[in-house]
Amino acid sequence: MFLGLSLSCVSNVLLARATTVGSVGSPDRSGSLGLKEHYARSVASDCVPLSITLDSSHATDFYRSFVPVSPAGSYQLASDGLQLFLDRPQGKIVTKQNVNDKVAEGATLNSTFTLLYGTVTFTFSGPATPGVVTAAILIADQHDEIDIELVGGDPKHWQTNVFAPSPRDEQPLYGVFGEIDDYPHGQKSVEATHSYTIDWNEDRIQWSADGAVVRTLRKDDTKKNGALHYPSHFARLQLGIWDASSPAGTSEWARGPINWDDAPRRMSATFDSIEVKCPY
Q: Within 10 Å of residue 53's Cβ, how many Cβ atoms?
A: 15
Question: What b-and-e string marks burial along 89-119, b requiring 16 or more CB atoms within 10 Å of the CB?
Answer: beeebebeeebbebbbbbbbbbbbbbbbbbb
> Are 253 and 130 spatial neighbours (Cβ–Cβ below 8 Å)?
no
Clarify whether 252 is annotated catalytic.
no
Which residue in the list 37, 149, 179, 252 is annotated as catalytic?
A: 149
Residue 33 gets which letter from DSSP? P
257 preceded by a cis bond (ω within 30 of 0) = yes
Clarify whether 191 is annotated catalytic.
no
Q: Which residues, other chains included, contact 161 with Cβ-Cβ below 8 Å and sequence gap of 6+?
A: 1, 3, 4, 145, 146, 147, 149, 175, 177, 178, 179
Q: At what angle do helices 3-18 and 35-43 cross, to 10 degrees?
A: 110
Which residue in the list 37, 105, 145, 252 is annotated as catalytic?
A: 145
Element (H, E) at 220: none
Instruction: Name the residues annotated as catalytic.
Output: 145, 149
